[in-house]
């Protein structure tokens, strides 16, 4: 599948996700930024979409900001989500993850607003809460939304199976290089560089038994996306 087809699928997945999650009563709103941390992760496909958006809107200065403000304590995943699902399904030992909740704000957050909002990755889009996190100190997420999130994140990785996953700042810095972007677009990426991890297709979806029936229409909707 070529890159344009993958980007089109990603756009449709965003529409489906917003429609599904939009049916829940959420406290999320503009200038609510407690979830905008330096720990957000994403795939190269989502990073490529952001890079293309920045080029189109002549907002490339955000790349300098990301490079300048990438915080050293940011979360860097040890394996991708599909790999993790695989390891857990086989009763293996997933690598230890070090996520520092005090890592600091997302490097592009400005005046409590996201300059990339329309093209923000699923890692950001999936952060929703029924109550304001600033008041509760945590996200109050319906368990079904958690399952929906995993299903979307796993499918995004699946369509980007030849790409990488990493911290938002690391993926953007990787894609800042023309050579890396060209190799990515041509499907010529090799082993993941330091700080990023290889994606893989979905072998097992992380759906708890109580949601298996309820999630079926959504799975069919995702799988019937045609490009
Ligand atoms: S997830 Fe929490 S912090 Fe983020 S927008 Fe929603 S209510 Fe605000
Ligand atoms: S990319 Fe935007 S939505 Fe995501 S964490 Fe950063 S500021 Fe928040």
DSSP sequence for 21-38 = HTTS-----TT--TT-BT
End-to-end C-alpha distance for the chain, whole angstroms: 10
65 lines ligand 1 (CB under 6 A): no
For residues 64-68, average pLDDT = 95
**Atom number, ligand 1, closest to the C-alpha of residue 127:** 1
Short-list 204, 175, 166, CA closest to 83: 204
Of the pLDDT bands very low, low, confident and very high (cuts 50, 70, 90), residue 62 is very high
Of the pLDDT bands very low, low, confident and very high (cuts 50, 70, 90), residue 227 is confident
Mutating to test ligand 1, I would choose from 30, 106, 109, 133 the residue with most ligand atoms within 8 A of its C-beta, which is 133
* Domains of the chain by residue range: 3-223
For residues 186-203, average pLDDT = 96
List, for residues 2-20, the tens digit of each pLDDT value.
999 999 999 999 999 999 9
| Residues 6+ away with beta carbon under 8 Å from 202 | 82, 85, 154, 155, 157, 158
Pick the residue whose CA is nearest to atom 5 on ligand 2. 36
Angle at 95 between CA 173 and CA 162, to 5 degrees: 45
Ligand nearest 30 Cα, by number? 1
- Placement of tokens 């403000």 in the chain: 69
């Amino acid at each position: 599948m070529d890159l344009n087809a993958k980007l089109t699928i990603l756009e449709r997945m965003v529409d489906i996700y917003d429609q599904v999650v939009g049916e829940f009563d959420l406290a999320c709103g503009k200038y609510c930024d407690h979830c905008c941390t330096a720990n957000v992760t994403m795939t190269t496909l989502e990073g490529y979409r952001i890079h293309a958006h920045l080029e189109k809107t002549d907002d490339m200065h955000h790349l300098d900001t990301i490079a300048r403000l990438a915080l050293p304590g940011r979360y860097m995943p040890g394996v991708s989500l599909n790999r993790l699902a695989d390891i857990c399904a086989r009763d293996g030992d997933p690598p230890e993850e070090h996520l520092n909740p005090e890592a600091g704000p997302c490097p592009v957050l400005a005046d409590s607003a996201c300059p990339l909002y329309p093209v923000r990755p699923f890692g950001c889009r999936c952060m929703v809460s029924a109550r304001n996190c600033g008041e509760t100190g945590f996200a109050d997420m319906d368990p079904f939304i958690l399952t929906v999130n995993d299903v979307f994140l796993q499918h995004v990785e699946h369509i980007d199976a030849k790409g990488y996953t990493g911290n938002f700042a690391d993926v953007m810095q990787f894609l800042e290089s023309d050579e890396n972007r060209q190799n990515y677009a041509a499907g010529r990426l090799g082993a993941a560089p330091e700080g990023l991890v290889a994606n893989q297709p979905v072998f097992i979806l992380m759906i708890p038994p109580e949601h298996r029936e309820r999630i079926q229409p959504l799975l069919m909707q995702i799988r019937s996306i045609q490009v």
